[in-house]
Structure 1
Amino acid sequence: MRKINVIIVDDQYMARQLFELYIKSSGRYQLAGTASSGQQALSLVQAVSADLILMDILMPDGENGLETAARIKAIRPWIRIIAVTSMAEASWLKRAREIGIESFWYKESSKETILEVMDCTMNGDSVYPDQPPKVKLGLSSNTEFTQRELEVLRLMTRGMSNSSIAGELGISENTVKSHIQHMLDKTGYKNRTELAIEARIRGIVVSIP
């Protein structure tokens, strides 16, 4: 039986080495190549035969693995892709589905192993978590925030003012202030700057191109 050719796309050397180890020990998969950036991945898929890609989402210089996956789907639609991340950014699940990415795997918190997700994906199944992993944020966690609060928080991490956030979301500035105050009350943080910094550090909201 022909082994399944896998490309690993991850900017972290240790992550690539770990995935390589899993692939080589599986007996079912073989490494077709590795890339540490989206641009390298695009070049690689055009140079080698690949059946499956393990695609990290957040890469160097804010590079977006999801958009790289979309570009790959446009030129090699038969290649199956598993989005891989350790970040709890909720919007990435929706975006991955929109692109047509077959499966989504959280590095630290998924109950399935990466090989189990690879097997399911290559068997034609789609593996997606119901929601991002729970991440502590002050006295609260990401799972206790509303969708709108997360949208406001995501724009806050870009350094946007309340008025700019209001314009972006089509709501009043007072509503923005109310959402921020609710988040401060939930988390116990002193101000919006502390809230935004801690949320970004923990990967709860991550803005990438």
Structure 2
Amino acid sequence: MAYKVLIADDQKMVRQMFETVLNSTSDYTIAGMAKTAAETVRICLEQKIDLVLMDVVMGYGMDGLDAAKQIKQERPDVKIMIVTSMPETTYIDRAKEIGVDSFWHKEVQEQPLLEIMNRTMTGESIYPTEMPVIWFGNTISTELTDIEMSVLRELMTCASNKEIGERLFMSESTVKRHIADMLAKTGFKSRLQLAIEARGGGLVIHHEEI
């Protein structure tokens, strides 16, 4: 019997890509498609779904990981596979905490999508061993420290150095130093440019934005 799959992505092109992949095998059947995280949760609670293929950034309020958490609480038998192109590294940690079964990054295709799906349905939990490396000004994403990434994430909320320090439990001068270090690495001219380029490239996304 074919596994019933729910495709959840706010982009039509991505949904069509998944549809093409699933139509190439008799092991899976498409049970439905969802454009929002809330719709994904509703369908999982109302129908018999075996596997959810879901992006993180869904738009319209709830994000994919929030949806995954709710689904796992209500329907722990449903397998969930996060599929994303965003290089934000904290997604993987959140996904593991929630209990997401597998994580497939579109830009780091260590294994084919169908292979990950098959292994997930047999009980394996598959996560990428590395995230994509992207250019951020004159440097690459892996050259930024975890602390710098945290500061950068808060910069995107237009917070002051004092506010960032309070949120991250560090002094205002330390925040200023980390920003200066990132400006030196990237060649950007201002904290505003840091935030704009980070958001535009999907390098980091603040938790309030997803």
State yes or no: 1:18 paired with 2:17.
Answer: yes
Equivalent position amino acid for 1:40 in 2: E
Q: Cα offset for 1:123?
A: 1.6
Structure 2, gaps ≥5 residues long: none
Aligned to 2:198: 199
In 2 relative to 1, CA 3–65 (structure 1 residues): closer, same or farther, beyond 3 Å? same
Deviations 1:118-168 (A, max 9, x none): 011112111111232101101111111111000000011111111110000
Equivalent position amino acid for 1:139 in 2: N
Aligned to 2:124: 125
Aligned to 1:66: 65
Q: Cα offset for 1:59?
A: 1.1
Q: Cα offset for 1:207?
A: 1.7
Q: Secondary structure at the match of 1:61?
A: coil
Deviations 1:48-101 (A, max 9, x none): 111110011001235311011000000000111111111111111100000000
Q: Cα offset for 1:26?
A: 1.4
Q: d(CA) in 1 for partners of 2:142 and 2:41?
A: 35
Q: Is the 8 A contact 2:6 2:31 kept in 1?
A: yes
Give the percent of matched residue pairs that are identical in Structure 1 and Structure 2.
Answer: 43
Equivalent position amino acid for 2:129 in 1: D
Size of the aligned set, in residue pairs, is 208
Equivalent position amino acid for 1:120 in 2: R
Deviations 1:173-199 (A, max 9, x none): 000011111111111111111111101
Q: Is the 8 A contact 2:199 2:205 kept in 1?
A: yes
Q: Cα offset for 1:21?
A: 1.1
Q: d(CA) in 1 for partners of 2:120 and 2:184?
A: 42
Q: Is the 8 A contact 2:38 2:62 kept in 1?
A: no
Q: Cα offset for 1:35?
A: 0.3
Q: Is the 8 A contact 1:152 1:176 kept in 2?
A: yes
Equivalent position amino acid for 2:157 in 1: R
Q: Secondary structure at the match of 2:54?
A: strand
Aligned to 1:29: 28
Q: Which moved more, 1:147-156 or 1:127-136?
A: 127-136
Q: d(CA) in 2 for partners of 1:149 and 1:63?
A: 27
Structure 1, gaps ≥5 residues long: none
Q: Secondary structure at the match of 1:154?
A: helix
Over aligned residues, Cα RMSD in angstroms?
A: 1.1
Aligned to 2:92: 93
Q: Which moved more, 1:56-65 or 1:68-77?
A: 56-65
In 2 relative to 1, CA 21–135 (structure 1 residues): closer, same or farther, beyond 3 Å? same
Q: Secondary structure at the match of 2:18?
A: helix
Q: Secondary structure at the match of 2:31?
A: strand
Q: Flag as ranges the 4+ runs of structure 1 deviating above 4 A.
A: none
Q: TM-score, normalised by structure 2?
A: 0.96
